[in-house]
Amino acid sequence: MTAEAELPDEWTHEPGEMLAFRPGSKVADIDTDATPGFGGSKDDAKALQWERNELLADLQERFYAGSKGGGDTRSVLLVLQGMDTAGKGGIVKHVVGAANPQGVRYTSFGKPTEEELAHHYLWRIRKALPPAGHIGVFDRSHYEDVLIVRVHDLVPPNVWATRYDEINAFERELVDGGVTLVKVAMFVSLDEQKKRLEKRLARPDKYWKYNPADIDERLLWPKYVDAYQAMLDRTSTDIAPWHIVPSDHKWYSRLAVTELLIEALEGLDLSWPPADFDVEAEKRRLAEA
Ligand code: AMP
Ligand code: MG
C-alpha cells in the first residue's frame, strides 16, 4: 500500500472542511469567484491537477481491485448539482476522466422519460447506483426533484415538501449500505454564466451544449436561489454533507472536486487485496511452463 498522500502545500486548508456547507450560510452570499483554501495560482492549479489525477486514478484502482479480489462491497457516489454552465461536464471529463472507465458508473439525469415519470422519482436513481468498487457519478440527480420541479411547480408544493426528509432517509440507507456520498453543489455568477452561454452560441463546436431553455432557467435564478437554499438547509446532513464549490474558475472547481474524491477514497483505508494463491509456487510453475 502506498503511503497516504499529503495535501499539496498550495492548499492552505482541507478542501473538504473548507467547502462543507455550514448551517445558516446563504446561497445568495456565495462568492463564486473565490478559491477557498487554495493559495496557489492558476498555473499551480493546472500542474497540480495532473499530479492529483494520478493519485485519484491509483486510489480508484485499489478500490476496484478490493471489490474484485477482496470482496469489498463499498462504493463512492459523486453527486453533481449546478445550474447550466456551472461546469458539471468539465468535472466528468477532466476529473473523473482521469480514472479507469472500468470502475466508473456515469449517469446524467435529464427530464424524466414517460416511463420514469410513471414511477417514484427515486426509481431511476436506484437503478443507477454504482456497483461495489465503483465510483458512481450523478450529473444532476434526485435533487432535481426539489430544484427544477419546485421552481416550475411540476408537482404541488405539498408533494415536493416531503421529499427533503425522504431524500435524507434514502441517503441514510445508502450510507448504511456502504456508499460514501460526495455531494457537490457548483455555483457560477450570472455574469460568468452569461459569458459561457455566449461562448456556446459563438462556436459551432459548442452548439451541442446550448439549449434555448437555459435562458429561461437563468431568468428564474431568484427562484433557484430559494430552491438551492432549501436543498442545502434540509439535506446537508452529517452522513452526507453538501460541499459548496465556487465555480467561476474552472481550474479551481476541478481541483477542489478532485481533492474531495481523493479524501473520500483515502477515508476508505484501501489496500491491495492479498493473493488468493501461493505466489512462490506460481512463480516456480511459470518458470517451468
Ligand atoms: P442537461 O443537464 O443540460 O442535459 O439538462 C437536463 C435538464 O433536465 C435540466 O434542465 C434539468 O433541470 C432537467 N431535469 C433533470 N431532472 C429532472 C426532473 N426530475 N424533472 C424535470 N426536469 C429534470
Ligand atoms: Mg444544459
Look at residue 117 and tell me whether its pLDDT is greater than 90: yes
Q: How far apart, in whole angstroms, are the C-alpha atoms of residue 41 and residue 46?
A: 9
pLDDT band at 1 (very low <50, low <70, confident <90, very high): very low
| Nine cell digits for residue 27 | 446561497
Rounded CA Rg of the chain: 20
Look at residue 61 and tell me whether its pLDDT is greater than 90: yes
Query: Exposure string (b/e) for 39-73, b if CB count within 10 Å is 16 or more?
Result: ebeeebbeebbeebbebbebbbbbbbbbbeebebe
189-199 tens-digit pLDDT: 999 999 999 99
Atom 21 in ligand 1: residue holding the nearest Cα? 111
Q: Is the shortest distance between the CB of 220 and ligand 1 below 6 Å?
A: no
Q: How far apart, in whole angstroms, are the C-alpha atoms of residue 94 and residue 57?
A: 12
- Evaluate whether 75 touches 125 at the Cβ level (below 8 Å): no
Segment 46-71 mean pLDDT: 95
Give the ligand 1 atom nearest the CA of 217: 10
Q: Is the shortest distance between the CB of 140 and ligand 1 below 6 Å?
A: yes
Atom 20 in ligand 1: residue holding the nearest Cα? 111
63-99 tens-digit pLDDT: 999 999 879 999 999 999 999 999 999 999 999 999 9
Segment 176-186 mean pLDDT: 98
DSSP per-residue codes, 210-235 = --THHHHHHHTHHHHHHHHHHHHHHH
Per-residue model confidence (pLDDT) at position 142: 98
| Nine cell digits for residue 277 | 494463491
Give the ligand 1 atom nearest the CA of 147: 12
Q: Is the shortest distance between the CB of 105 and ligand 1 below 6 Å?
A: no
22-36 tens-digit pLDDT: 999 999 999 999 999
Per-residue model confidence (pLDDT) at position 4: 59
Per-residue model confidence (pLDDT) at position 6: 87
228-283 tens-digit pLDDT: 999 999 999 999 999 999 999 999 999 999 999 999 999 999 999 999 999 999 99
- Evaluate whether 244 touches 21 at the Cβ level (below 8 Å): yes
- Evaluate whether 130 touches 265 at the Cβ level (below 8 Å): no
What's the mean pLDDT when you consider all of the chain? 96
Per-residue model confidence (pLDDT) at position 70: 77
In 3-state terms, what secondary structure has residue 164?
A: helix
Q: Give the ligand whose atoms come closest to the C-alpha of residue 210.
A: 2
| Nine cell digits for residue 224 | 433557484
Atom 11 in ligand 1: residue holding the nearest Cα? 110
Residue 164 φ/ψ region, left for φ over 0, alpha for ψ in the -120 to 50 degree band, beta for the rest: alpha
C-alpha triplet 240, 241, 243: angle, nearest 5°: 135
Segment 11-25 mean pLDDT: 96
Q: Give the ligand whose atoms come closest to the C-alpha of residue 196.
A: 2
E strands in 35-121: 75-82, 104-108
**Does the pTM exceed 0.75?**
yes
DSSP per-residue codes, 174-189 = HHHTTEEEEEEEEE--
- Evaluate whether 14 touches 263 at the Cβ level (below 8 Å): yes
Kindly state the DSSP code that residue 118 receives in the 8-state scheme: T
Mutate to test the pocket of ligand 1, among 111, 124, 151 (most ligand atoms within 8 A of CB): 111
Segment 102-119 mean pLDDT: 97
Per-residue model confidence (pLDDT) at position 241: 98
Centre of ligand 1 to C-alpha 91, Å, is: 18
Per-residue model confidence (pLDDT) at position 53: 97
Q: Is the shortest distance between the CB of 110 and ligand 1 below 6 Å?
A: yes
